[in-house]
Amino acid sequence: MDIGFVGVGTMGGPMVRNLLEDGIKVTVHDIQREAVRPLEELGAHWADTPKAVAQASELVLSSLPGPPEVEAVALGPDGIIEGIKKGSVYVDLSSISPSLARKMYPIFKEKGAQVLDAPVSGGEVGAANRTMIIMIGGDRDAFDRCKPLLERLGENILYAGPIGNGSVCKLVHNCVAAAAHMAVLEGFTLGVKAGVDAQTLWRAVHGGMFGKASPVDGLGKNLFAGKFDPPTFALKLAAKDVSLAVQLAREVQVPMPITSLTEQVFLEAMGRGWGDRDHCATDLIQEERAGVQVRVPDFTPD
């Protein structure tokens, strides 16, 4: 299969290098001509435009900074859409909005081609070492066709469902990671300002229940099952500890907006009479606000 690749920067460059090392023919394009020259030395073929990449390829991939660049490369003048061949597949590895993926899908379908939104997570090291997860949305037959090639790029190839679902997965992953990081940072700034050195705090958090397992690991026991009784840690105790942390933050003058919001949710749950339920019963409040239940019957971790 002839492969095309648009965007050979921080993530795309290592991916193309890996394909070339596997003896795969790759036609490449990048807005920075110089970025391609090291790959040409390894056997890559240069194309002047994304259109020319598509004309030379059965499978076209792109790895670009964001939605504006993807839309321009895919749908703009001299874009992939102008050169895509009937029966070809376009796989975008960038982080984009689900709405853009769903916009591109019917446009390519009119040309007899398919689109997969396939954002990655793992960073530059993961791209180089082929240890990324690739989260893929689109038609199942297109996924099955591209999976052998994508397995050369990452170790975890996840089919997420219809077009746009790959991007939904990536956005959820990154927003959860960012919010969790800020919550951890709030705690550590509180602890240091309250007089404990950062190394000791790290040992305390890392050695406790939070540090021993990701909060994601616990979803199966409570949220996915919709089970919050009997408690493993009572809501009234968790609420007490969060309130004490907010009180300490006031004393030492550390702003903690995420923790303060958490306290308000816990207080609402306590006001509903849930004090003796598991502290994760607060999940029900977020479900209520979102108008959705997050359940996985017979959940088993992979």
Catalytic residues: 170
Q: Which of 113, 111, 118 is nearest to 137 (CA)?
A: 118
Q: What is the DSSP string of 58-127?
A: SEEEE--SSHHHHHHHHHSTT-HHHHPPTT-EEEE-S---HHHHHHHHHHHHHTT-EEEE--EESHHHHH
Closest CA to 235 of 262, 204, 208: 262
CA atoms within 13 Å, Cβ hemisphere of 184: 16
Please give the Cα distance from 181 to 167 (Å, whole number).
21
Would you state the structure tokens that stand for residue 243, as one six-digit string? 């309130």
Interior CA angle at 186 toward 193 and 254, to 5°? 45
Q: How many Å apart are CA 116 and CA 20, to the nearest integer?
A: 22
Q: Quick one: tokens of 177?
A: 């990671």
Alpha-carbon span 299 to 301, nearest angstrom? 7
State the Cα–Cα distance between residues 153 and 110, nearest whole angstrom.
29
Residue 292 CB neighbour total at 10 angstroms? 9
Q: How far is C-alpha 213 from the geometric centre of its chain's CA atoms?
A: 19
